[in-house]
Amino acid sequence: MSGTMREPFEIGGERIEPGTRRLVELPVSRLSNHLPISLSVHVLHGREPGPTLFVSAAVHGDEINGVEIIRRLLRIEELKDLEGTLLCIPVVNAFGFIARSRYLPDRRDLNRAFPGNASGSLAARLAHLLMREVVARSDLGIDLHTASANRENLPQIRASFEVRDAREIATAFAAPLMLTAPEREGSLREAARALGIPVVVYEGGEGLRFDETAIRTGVRGILGVMASKGMIRIPASLAAGEHSIHAQSSRWLRAPEGGVLLSYRSTGDTLEPNEMIGAIANPYEDVLTEIRSPKRGIIIGRTRLPVVNQGDALFNMAWLKDLPLPVPAEAEPEPFLDEDEIV
């Protein structure tokens, strides 16, 4: 112990004393029936100095695995000896969470509204509040996401690894996969980087569904990042995996025909070139159209819908040459699709 008392942590006009924790409600707006909506932030302010980490979930209101990840994280006994400050926002987009929707009531994607505007649209106001009260007070961040509804993602960290500390954060998280993902205009990652704050995105599971593997991986990953920053000390039982596979590009394989999808492989499976992944069955005739891997890779996402049209996204594959070693730098880049662009 240093013997030097820290200053209180100030947020939303409240002061949280060292060694205490509090749920702070930041007013956002009111529903059409005039019920208030707030941005709820769990503030854990350690007695000893250290970094300030924010963990956000449900920026997209239907991505609920992160909500449960934060709930479990806050119950970890080791947090009583926290050094630094932990800010947890279980539900950023309360409007979408209530409606079980990815979007805000005006159909805006909150993750395209950063850094926001205090007098702009509802999305812009909410983004501005999060940036001002949480992100700007932090040293690093982890933003929790899932696939969209009817798709699932392998637990993975997405980051722009040229950003300061992003690779170190991703490595400490130790998800099964690290994927190079460019920042999108208006995203939380982009707005945070403009302030000099590294943020990585954790993806795992499916929208509107709990995925136990993704939840446990998320909790352990956050604890791993905190331990790497000296914020906590964790036992081996809570430690994350030893390493991640690093992929620099991925691509969705699309349905060559309409019909019924028969999936032979699952997320996390590795495939050799020309290996069978699934097939499209004709519901009226005994005809199968095969779907094969064009390269050596790993399935990092897939559709959960068996009824498909021609051109539908079926399997998201990351290309790998020497599993489980990192992909060589000369691996060809391919366009990166965000969840709302996968159609």
DSSP 43-74: EEE-SEEEEEEEEEE-SSTT--HHHHHHHHHT
* pLDDT at residue 3 greater than cutoff 70: no
* pLDDT at residue 5 greater than cutoff 60: yes
* pLDDT at residue 334 greater than cutoff 60: no
Give pLDDT, residue 330.
Answer: 40
Paired tokens of 275 = 């290996």
Q: Which residue did the predictor score with more confidence, 231 or 322? A: 231
Paired tokens of 69 = 């990840």
276-281 and 259-263 beta bridge pairing: antiparallel
Paired tokens of 118 = 């205090």
Q: Which residue did the predictor score with more confidence, 128 or 250? A: 128
Distance of alpha carbon 127 from the chain centroid:
17
Residue among 265, 268, 220, 57 nearest 146 (CA): 57
Give pLDDT, residue 305.
Answer: 96
Q: How far apart are the first and last CA of the chain?
A: 54
The torsion angles phi and psi of 216, rounded to 5 degrees, stand at -65, -40
Give pLDDT, residue 341.
Answer: 57
Which tens digits make up the pLDDT trace of 207-246? Answer: 999 999 999 999 999 999 999 999 999 887 777 666 788 8
Give pLDDT, residue 240.
Answer: 67
Residues 6+ apart with CB under 8 A from 132: none
Residue among 154, 139, 325, 327 nearest 228 (CA): 139
* pLDDT at residue 70 greater than cutoff 90: yes
Q: Which residue did the predictor score with more confidence, 182 or 126? A: 126
Distance of alpha carbon 157 from the chain centroid:
7
